[in-house]
Amino acid sequence: MRQTRQRQLILEHLKRTANHPSATEIYDLVRQDLPSISLATVYRNLESLCSLGLAKKVETFGGQKRFDAIVADHMHAICTKCGKVRDIETEPEFKPEKLRSIDSDFEITGVRIDLLGICPECMRLQNQNKEEK
């Protein structure tokens, strides 16, 4: 794969951004260094990084997909209000690898364990609204 400035920057920002950015969030970040980049390029590169195994898609709530530069199996906590994603320390007994051995007709290639809920920020907003009523 050819090494371009845009590809470099996209991967760099993806690695640096903890909360699993969406395509448009990466677009905004990269634009700070390279204002001429187009959103289409971001999508195309995220796609190719995924197929090279350098990134992974995270299916969230709220439409947009998010991306993750940590490709090893791990758990996520996903906010069902705002869609933000956070990595979770996995207790050894819940290691995703254990699930891979579960039998099925499927050729299992990966495992996804997500805790769904409300993140602290959204929780705070919710409580504020209640108080205002």
Partner DNA sequence: CTAGGTGCAAATTATTTGCCGCGAG
Partner DNA sequence: CTCGCGGCAAATAATTTGCACCTAG
117 binds, among DNA, its own copies, none (CB under 5 to 8 A by kind): its own copies
Taking CB under 7 A as the rule, which mask of x and - marks residues 24-43 in contact with DNA?
A: x---------x-xxxxxx-x
DSSP assignment string, 42-77: HHHHHHHHHHTTS-EEE--SSS--EEES--S--EEE
The entry of DNA, its own copies, none near residue 85 (CB within 5 to 8 angstroms by kind) is none
Handedness of CA 43, 74, 80, 132 (dihedral sign): negative
Of the pair 30, 79, the CB lying nearest its own copies is at: 79
Task: Candidates 106, 130, 132, 133: give the one binding its own copies (CB under 8 A).
Answer: 106
The rounded distance, in Å, linking the Cα atoms of 88 and 53 is 21
Binding mask 44-63 for DNA (x = CB under 7 A): xx-xx-------------xx
Given the complex with DNA, which of 5 and 124 has the nearer CB atom? Answer: 5
Residue closest to 76 by CA, chosen among 86, 61, 84? 86
Indicate the residue among 4 and 127 with the shorter CB distance to DNA: 4
Q: C-alpha 132: how far from its chain's center?
A: 33
127 binds its own copies (CB under 8 A): no
